[in-house]
Structure formats: structure tokens, C-alpha cells
A and B are shown apart, each in its own frame.
Chain A
Amino acid sequence: MTPLDYEFLCKLLKERSGLDLSADKRYLVESRLLPLARRHDLPGISELVQKIRAGAEAITAEVVEAMTTNETFFFRDKLPFDHLGEEIIPALLQARAGRRALRIWCAAGSTGQEPYSIAMVLKEMGAALSGWRVEIVATDLNQAVLEKSKSGLYSQFEVQRGLPIQLLVKYFKQTGEMWQLDPAIRAMVQHRQLNLLHDFSHLGTFDVVFCRNVLIYFDQDTKISIFNRIAKMLEPDGYLALGAAETVVGLTDAFKPHATRRGIYRPNADRRAPSIVPSAMPALRLVAAR
């Protein structure tokens, strides 16, 4: 891969997905795109880039998908799911007792481990949610990972990373060397393809948004834009969960950190009107023009 190839791929990925690759991420591009090149009988990444430059849209989509597939596992970091079961859902059960409905959005649902972990937390609450309408919406840019998520089929390796053994026995059925998630848990999650760079207001409003370990790949202006647009979709008493290494601090005043629950943020009632930082707009326009 030549420096020009790398520069071309960085620009392409930024425009298509918001992925912000620094100069030290060449290894990541090589490790993910070389297998893709081989699958297409191409000797290397330079030849892959030539195909994209020539307008091979299917290969371009595969490149974006290969680069935006992120590692995930059940109950990743554990703490956000403890917060969900111990405080967030109990508080919302009181606050929404009138309408008996909850909406939760997994903004980067990937292969399903996160939305299904949320679904299992809710299921474990048993009768408390009986008669409630619960929607878990899992979105991802990558159609291939959404299809895997929909299948609810996981390898032995995948079900051993973060999933307590009691929940494996309770909610999964062994089929050969794979494990199939209970249809009742799968039915709790809706899947939709979504690019976070695009307008997502059509998803409606949510009580809880999980947006974990995805914004780390975006530049600062894009993060600010996404945070401000999420703020508009979150109920005033809602909750935002971010990844362990992520924060809104210094990026937006639309949210404030939860006083005691690390990684949880609440809408900031004292903030001024949300605004999108002007420098974030060119990236949005580029995507919209496609």
C-alpha cells in the first residue's frame, strides 16, 4: 500500500463512515483489507484501491464494512449493564408508569452482543416489566454485522466472552458448535442500518441511548455533531451510556455526567440551545451529496 493509497482510503472512509484514521493506523487498514483483497483475487491493497477508483461500488461498500466492524462482546465492561439494571430501569419504571413504554437505542449495535445484553437485563427483571412495551433499536452502518445480529447465532468463543454461564444456559440453545439465542430475546431487538453521520431524527425519541465505543473513531467535530443530535432525541430525564474511554466533557454541554454512575450521562437542563459546530458541516454535506 503506497502513501497515496492510504491517503485515498482515509479520505474515502472519512466521507462514507466518519472513521477518522490517523497516520499510525496503517497496520489496521492492512490487517483488515488484505484478506478482503485476497478474497477478490487481488494481490494487494493497491489493486483494491484501483478497483475503488474505477468505481467498483460493491467493493467500496465491502471496504467500508471491513473497516467499521468493531470488536464487541456480551456485557462489555459490565458496569453499564449494572447501572441499567440497578438504577436506570428502576427509575424509568417509576417515571414511565403512566405510559408503560420504554425505548432504548443501541447506536452501534454491531453483531448484537450489546443490544441482546440489554434485552437479557430487562428479561431478568421479570414481572416488573410485565405489560410494558419495550423497544430496543439496534443500528449499525454495517449491514453484514446487522445480519449476524439478527441471526442470534454465536460461536462458542463469542458466548464465553462476558456472558455469565447462568445466562448462557438460560437463554441459549446449543446447535452443533454454535449457540442460538432464545427467540423471545431476539424479538425484543429491532435492527436498522444507519450511518451516524446522517440525520437520525426519524428514529424518534428514546429513554436510554447506548453509544459506546464508536465515537472514539470520529474526529472532534463529528463527535460534537452526533452528541448534539442525540441530545435532541433523548427524553429530558433520559440516560446516555458511553464507553469506558469516552466522555462528553469538553465537547458539548448537552449532557452532564451522572453524579455516581461512571460512564452514564444525563441531559443537561441548564444548557443553552443545541448547536452544530460549523466545521462539522462539510463532512455531513459530503455524505449527503452521495
Chain B
Amino acid sequence: MKTCLVVDDSSVIRKVARRILEGLDFQIVEAEDGEKALEICKRSLPEAVLLDWNMPVMDGYEFLRNLRRMPGGDQPKVVFCTTENDVAHIARALHAGANEYIMKPFDKDIVMAKFHEVGLI
């Protein structure tokens, strides 16, 4: 079973994402900010990360830059999931090493399509 780290400061979003991803046979690990997510990745790298942009302590963009610099940090597929729904943010995310990008609001079909696109399902 693949592991997906869901990083979002909203417990509601984490709950929704958990429900969708568990339905797609993922084991879920949650973090409420980028720093906590990075600690989890240092212990064990997940196969996938569903990543919010705006969070306290460390935002998603900073987390991604740190993740990609870690040993093996190029391996997880990172899918942003954010309200930053403009081309400039998307371009920055891709440049920093994001594999896909979900613009909130989202539903199960969109998550499935994006995870399929990057070969996670």
C-alpha cells in the first residue's frame, strides 16, 4: 500500500483528502504545516504528498524546496492542492519540482485524475 502525506493546516481539508485517498488505497499520514511534514519525511519518505500552499510556520512552497534537496527527496510525487489558482503560482510550483497541481475546490474525480496523471494510481 502506498503512503500519501497530506499537508494542510485545515483539519477539514485533511479529513476530506483522507477519505478520498483511503478510497484509492493509500495509507494516510497527516501534517498541519510544512515543518511537521518535513520531520515526517526525514523519518520516512512517502510515495505521494498532497500539499497546501499557505500554512503557518512553513508554507508548502518552502517545504517542497526543502524536500527536493533531501537525499531521496526527488522520489515522492508532489501534488499541490491550493487556493492559489493563478498561472504565476502554478509556474513557481512546477519550477520548484511539483509534479501536479490541484486548484481548490476539488473533488474525488480531480484527485483521481491528477494522481493518475503522475502514475500514482
Partners in one complex: yes
Interface members, chain B 79-121 (any A CB < 8 Å): 85-87, 90-91, 94, 100-103, 106, 109-110, 113-114, 116-117
**Among listed A5-13, A153-161, A250-258, interface-contacting one:** A153-161
Q: Which residues of B contact A162 (CB under 8 A)?
A: 113, 117
Q: How many residues of B are counted as interface, with CB atoms below 8 angstroms from the partner's CB atoms?
A: 17
A78-B116, A169-B91, A169-B94 known; A161-B109 Cβ under 8 A: yes
A160-B106, A160-B110, A160-B113 known; A165-B100 Cβ under 8 A: yes
CA A168 to CA B85, docked complex, whole Å: 12
**Do A165 and B113 have beta carbons less than 8 Å apart?**
no
**Do A164 and B117 have beta carbons less than 8 Å apart?**
yes
Number of A-B contacts (CB under 8 A): 33
Q: Which residues of B contact A160 (CB under 8 A)?
A: 102-103, 106, 110, 113-114
Minimal Cβ-Cβ distance residue in A for B101: A165
| Option from A161, A168, A169 in Cβ contact (under 8 Å) with B113 | A161
A156-B103, A174-B86, A174-B87 known; A166-B110 Cβ under 8 A: no
With both chains docked as a complex, state the minimum distance between the C-beta of A204 and any C-beta of chain B, in angstroms.
Answer: 35
Q: Which residues of A contact B116 (CB under 8 A)?
A: 78
Main secondary structure of the interface of B (DSSP, over half): helix
Main secondary structure of the interface of A (DSSP, over half): mixed
Q: Which residues of A contact B86 (CB under 8 A)?
A: 174
With both chains docked as a complex, state the minimum distance between the C-beta of B112 and any C-beta of chain A, in angstroms.
Answer: 9
Q: Which residues of B contact A173 (CB under 8 A)?
A: 87
Minimal Cβ-Cβ distance residue in A for B93: A165
With both chains docked as a complex, state the minimum distance between the C-beta of B62 and any C-beta of chain A, in angstroms.
Answer: 20
Q: Which residues of B contact A165 (CB under 8 A)?
A: 90, 94, 100-101, 114, 117
With both chains docked as a complex, state the minimum distance between the C-beta of A113 and any C-beta of chain B, in angstroms.
Answer: 12
From A156, A160, A168, A169, residue with most partner B Cβ within 10 Å = A160
With both chains docked as a complex, state the minimum distance between the C-beta of B20 and any C-beta of chain A, in angstroms.
Answer: 14
| Option from B90, B91, B94, B110 in Cβ contact (under 8 Å) with A157 | B110
Q: Which residues of A contact B102 (CB under 8 A)?
A: 160
From B94, B103, B106, B113, residue with most partner A Cβ within 10 Å = B113
Report which A residues bind B (CB closer than 8 A): 73, 78, 156-157, 160-162, 164-166, 168-169, 173-174
Report which B residues bind A (CB closer than 8 A): 85-87, 90-91, 94, 100-103, 106, 109-110, 113-114, 116-117
Known: A73-B113, A160-B106, A165-B117. 12 other contacts (CB 8 A): A156-B103, A160-B110, A160-B113, A161-B109, A161-B110, A161-B113, A162-B113, A165-B101, A165-B114, A169-B87, A169-B91, A174-B87
Shortest 4 CB-CB contacts between residues of A and residues of B? A165-B101, A160-B110, A161-B113, A165-B100
